[in-house]
Amino acid sequence: MALTSTLEIFNDIAAITLVGDLDAATAPQFQKAVEEAAQSHPQKLVLKLEALDYMASAGLRVLIFSKQKMGAEVTIYVVNPQDGVRETIQKTGFHHSVVFLDQFDPEAMAN
């Protein structure tokens, strides 16, 4: 399955929605979205993963890249990942570098 990525900017929040499979073939698309998001200098990066069906190690590398690209002062939020994606993030220990959320509300996060 292919990957669809959508970037939205809400003041100081960059939100990337991923739909499909994140693997070696589609990771460059996710990385491009992260690079575009970084150009807006957000304080928060939100990764909406409700419809992400699969994440391979290439996707994890882009997650790590996103933390490096955004900088330590930017908080990364992972919204409602499917169980398999959540387990992949947790098995690598990257869950210590992100905040899991059940839902994304840009107005509530702006406060």
CATH number of the domain bearing residue 32? 3.30.750.24
Query: Helix (H) and strand (E) counts for the chain?
Result: 4, 5
- 60 inside domain: yes
- 90 inside domain: yes
* pTM confidence score: 0.94
**Residues in Cβ contact with 81 at an 8 Å cutoff, skipping those fewer than 6 apart:** 49, 50, 52, 89, 100
Exposed/middle/buried for residue 55 (C-beta within 10 Å: 0-12, 13-18, 19+): buried
The answer to whether 89 and 58 are in contact (CB under 8 A) is: no
Count up the domains in the chain and report the number. Answer: 1
**Residue 49 pLDDT:** 97
- 111 inside domain: no
Domain of 70 in residue numbering reads as 3-105
Q: Give the model confidence (pLDDT) of 23-41 as tens digits.
A: 999 999 999 999 999 999 9
CA distance 57 to 61: 6
Q: Give the model confidence (pLDDT) of 44-74 as tens digits.
A: 999 999 999 999 999 999 999 999 999 889 9
- 74 inside domain: yes
- 19 inside domain: yes
- 110 inside domain: no
Average pLDDT, the chain: 94
